[in-house]
Amino acid sequence: MITAILQSRLARTSFDKNRFQSVSEELHMECQAEMVTPLVTNPGHVCITDTNLYFQPLNGYPKPVVQITLQDVRRIYKRRHGLMPLGLEVFCTEDDLCSDIYLKFYDPQDRDELYYYIATYLEHHVAERTAESYTLQWQRGHLSNYQYLLHLNNLADRSCNDLSQYPVFPWVISDYCSSELDLSNPGTFRDLSKPIGALNKERLERLLTRYQEMPEPRFMYGSHYSSPGYVLFYLVRIAPEYMLCLQNGRFDNADRMFNSIAETWKNCLDGATDFKELIPEFYGDDVSFLVNSLKLDLGKRQGGQMVDDVELPPWAWSPEDFLQKSKDALESNYVSEHLHEWIDLIFGYKQKGSEAVGAHNAFYVSLSVFHPLTYEGGVDLNSIEDPDEKVAMLTQILEFGQTPKQLFVTPHPQRITPKFKSLSQTSSYNASIADSPVSPGEESFEDLTEESKTLAWNNIAKLQLHEQYKIHKEAVTGIAVSCNGSSVFTTSQDSTLKMFSKESKMLQRSISFSNMALSSCLLLPGDATVISSSWDNNVYFYSIAFGRRQDTLMGHDDAVSKICWHDNRLYSASWDSTVKVWSGVPAEMTGTKRHQFDMLAELEHDVGVDTISLNAASTLLVSGTKEGTVNIWDLTAATMLHQIPCHSGTVCDTAFSPDSRHVLSTGEDGCLNVIDVQTGMLISSMTSDKPQRCFIWDGSTVLSGSQSGELLVWDLLGGKLSERIQGHTGAVTCIWMNEQCSSIITGGEDRQIMFWKLQY
């Protein structure tokens, strides 16, 4: 009856246009919706104009009109409400826990139209965020563990306005008995690779036995890790009205209330039906939920004591201290190193399916760990015709708790913690050097170099063209520079290798090995030999001192597209679908002794390889193919670690980040893709209007050479294009940067080489 009255009133009324902020506002759309708050939805009319979003509730509560200026909007999320795609949540801040408005529509089309209208508006103001782009920020330390979990909860449809999908956070501390909390001891922490239900081995065995005897539909855990009852269990002291609403006007039994942190943790470990995780308030700043400041009569426990403030662990001397230490634990090194394991269970590939079996996050592949109704797609409410059955099903869905939307289908990458950073920085040196103590002088010199690199990359947008020279008859394909920076070697599609003197600004040599294009070049250590790869299937060695071709490696059955060199090993990529690894001891400088080449490994691909790159330690190689696949290889075992089809069309360029944690690839499709080396997961993707033919990067910022001839500066962490710098008149085809990151040389289709300097 109430529903009928409500629908009648909604149909007879419309949004009051007199509520517009300005007479010049243009109406885009108007529809019926409900504003969602915990346990209550408030019906009314939604209206959106070119500048504002409005909601006018039928009952005038909490105010006659809720108004949000589109310019203030920072994030919007589509939400499922009661497992239906009807919700939309709007945030006007970047990191806030609670949104500015949560709307539930009666028609998915209305929701989608409003979403796309706001999203189109935002495109010009705020970059859209994906789980992957947040992952990159988190991995590199630009987001805290708390902020990252908050973003993942948002992206997985968790909202503070929906108690059945309240943000879920992990228990991270397992020690609630000691007088001191030791965050340097791994034993202080909970095992984040296991769900709550699998932490206690004896209880897990009992659950598995019960599962075997259970009729269909079978599930392992009889309650969820997050549900309205559990959320209000934690929040009863600050939101008693919700608890009373849920419990028919009374509080729960005093002994079942949230009385003690230690007791709650113990029950989660041992209780037959208690598998709850935490809520974000445990890692926030507001202690209200731990203190009975409203002086509520929450009952008397069996021992006779009244339920009052929450009893804290011995190591916390006040509620503020408890929250601070909980925050410290969440941001600790141990949790940073293991948080990805918990993300796999809650938001990732171990949430359901075969991977969840081994983690006791599920039992059979076809069945998941919780009741089938808690999973997205578990039931189609629209297919239920009986209204009573539909209401009963919806009530069960809303009260039991819901599993988050799955965000990741491959293993989640690990965070780069300071400990790992130092390891990766020393990995390019051999073990004896890495293990030996470093003198203070050397250390400060290393820091100085790193500091100058950081300064350079922070100012990369201030690049200025210094000089330019047209020295080839076709596109420049490769650049190599001597250690002292005086000699610049370039290859070109005009089939020549040229030597240009930066000091005299003169072309000193022009060498031709065959009548086919040269594709890349590099200088061997000692600056005595230049190696060039050619479309005639060969690799040529040229002695600078003797001014002649020293040797030819006839290594492939098709054009050699790219070569790399490290530690007396040559790596050659070819359109014959292989990358070959050669041992190549440089020839004697007498010019008489030739190179000795032995093929150490052959890395086979399905199609032609256009580009390759090595990591700093030369233990990994990345290759990009003509069909858009990026492959990551372990060179120590000559095996493929990951094959990622991430471009439509040829891969133009690939490179590892300095710490070897990520690979960046650019393609003919205009995409810049960041891949996590450990998991092979594509964690960030940006699109440019033209293909980026070549690039250099420091792990966070990219300087790319565009098909348009411009140099583009990309902020990967901010997910945006920062700067366009005018350069060549045709595509930028190759780019070189010195070790100090202060000098850059580019080559282009316009046959020019350009010298760039950083001005800061």
Give the pair of three-digit tokens for residue 59.
Answer: 């009952």
What's residue 75's pLDDT? 87
pLDDT at 318 over 60: yes
What's residue 200's pLDDT? 92
pLDDT at 498 over 50: yes
Order of all β-strands in the sheet with 487-492: 476-481, 487-492, 496-501, 506-512
Contact present, 562 and 611 (Cβ < 8 Å):
yes
Structure confidence by residue, pLDDT tens digits, 432-470: 333 333 334 444 445 567 788 888 999 999 999 999 999
What's residue 210's pLDDT? 82
Q: For residues 295 and 301, what is the distance between their CA atoms, to the nearest angstrom?
A: 16
Nearest Cα to 34, choosing from 100, 98, 87, 108? 87
Give the pair of three-digit tokens for residue 302.
Answer: 């069996």
Contact present, 46 and 103 (Cβ < 8 Å):
yes
- Sign (positive or negative) of CA dihedral 601, 606, 609, 611: negative
Mean local confidence (pLDDT), 575-583: 96
What's residue 422's pLDDT? 36
What's residue 378's pLDDT? 55
What's residue 369's pLDDT? 52
Higher pLDDT among residues 128 and 487, named by residue: 487
Nearest Cα to 610, choosing from 634, 642, 577, 584? 577
Three-state SS for 92-115 is CCCCCCCCCEEEEECCHHHHHHHH
pLDDT at 685 over 80: yes
- Sign (positive or negative) of CA dihedral 706, 708, 710, 716: negative
What's residue 374's pLDDT? 60
Q: For residues 603 and 589, what is the distance between their CA atoms, to the nearest angstrom?
A: 31
What's residue 7's pLDDT? 87
pLDDT at 211 over 50: yes
Q: How confident is the model at residue 420 (pLDDT cuts 50, 70, 90)?
A: very low
What's residue 381's pLDDT? 62
pLDDT at 372 over 70: no
Higher pLDDT among residues 53 and 128, named by residue: 53
What's residue 417's pLDDT? 75
Q: What is the mean pLDDT of the chain?
A: 88
Higher pLDDT among residues 361 and 451, named by residue: 451
Mean local confidence (pLDDT), 644-651: 96
Of the candidate ranges 277-291, 382-396, 414-428, 507-521, the one whose mean pLDDT is the lowest: 414-428
Q: Extract long-range pairs of 436-439: CB within 8 Å, 24+ residues apart.
A: none
Q: How confident is the model at residue 221 (pLDDT cuts 50, 70, 90)?
A: confident
For a pLDDT cut of 70, what percent of the chain falls above it? 88
Structure confidence by residue, pLDDT tens digits, 652-663: 999 999 999 999
DSSP class of residue 381 equals: G
Q: For residues 760 and 747, what is the distance between their CA atoms, to the nearest angstrom?
A: 24
pTM for this prediction = 0.84
- Sign (positive or negative) of CA dihedral 456, 476, 635, 683: positive
Mean local confidence (pLDDT), 240-257: 91
| Domains of the chain and CATH, by start | 1-128 (2.30.29.30), 148-400 (1.10.1540.10), 450-585+596-758 (2.130.10.10)
Q: What is the largest CA-CA distance in the chain?
A: 101
Structure confidence by residue, pLDDT tens digits, 546-568: 999 999 999 999 999 999 999 89
Within 13 Å and on the Cβ side, how many CA atoms surround 239?
20
Of the candidate ranges 140-149, 421-430, 496-505, the one whose mean pLDDT is the lowest: 421-430
For residue 580, list its beta bridge partners.
Answer: 572, 602
Q: What backbone phi and psi angles, to 5 degrees, belong to 91?
A: -115, 135
Mean local confidence (pLDDT), 256-278: 94
Residues 6 or more apart in contact with residue 599 via CB below 8 angstroms: 555, 580, 581, 582
pLDDT at 164 over 90: no
Strands 101-105 and 518-523: unpaired
pLDDT at 365 over 50: no
The secondary element (H helix, E strand) that includes residue 734 is strand 732-737
CB neighbours (10 Å) of residue 517? 19
Structure confidence by residue, pLDDT tens digits, 511-526: 999 999 999 999 999 9
CB neighbours (10 Å) of residue 409? 11
What's residue 344's pLDDT? 94
What's residue 383's pLDDT? 66
Mean local confidence (pLDDT), 156-164: 90
Higher pLDDT among residues 628 and 376, named by residue: 628
Q: How confident is the model at residue 159 (pLDDT cuts 50, 70, 90)?
A: very high
For a pLDDT cut of 90, what percent of the chain falls above it? 69
Contact present, 184 and 356 (Cβ < 8 Å):
no
What's residue 208's pLDDT? 83
Higher pLDDT among residues 75 and 570, named by residue: 570
Of the candidate ranges 118-127, 283-292, 503-512, 751-760, the one whose mean pLDDT is the lowest: 118-127
Task: Please report where in the chains the tokens 């009889």 appear, as a residue.
Answer: 222
Within 13 Å and on the Cβ side, how many CA atoms surround 614?
20
Q: For residues 181 and 327, what is the distance between their CA atoms, to the nearest angstrom?
A: 12
Q: How confident is the model at residue 360 (pLDDT cuts 50, 70, 90)?
A: low
Q: For residue 115, with 0-12 CB atoms within 10 Å meaning exposed, 13-18 middle and 19 or more buried, which class applies?
A: middle
Quickly list DSSP for 662-714: EEEEEETTSEEEEEETTT--EEEEEE-SS-EEEEEE-SSEEEEEETTS-EEEE
Order of all β-strands in the sheet with 743-748: 463-470, 752-758, 743-748, 732-737
pLDDT at 595 over 70: no
Q: For residues 630 and 662, what is the distance between their CA atoms, to the nearest angstrom?
A: 12
Of the candidate ranges 145-149, 180-184, 502-506, 731-735, the one whose mean pLDDT is the lowest: 502-506
Nearest Cα to 751, choosing from 455, 559, 405, 494? 494
Q: What backbone phi and psi angles, to 5 degrees, belong to 643?
A: -125, 115
Quickly list DSSP for 573-586: EETTSEEEEEEEEP
The CA–CA distances, whole Å, from 46 to 54, 90, 314 equal 6, 13, 51
What's residue 427's pLDDT? 34
Higher pLDDT among residues 174 and 40, named by residue: 174
Q: For residues 379 and 393, what is the distance between their CA atoms, to the nearest angstrom?
A: 9
CB neighbours (10 Å) of residue 485? 12
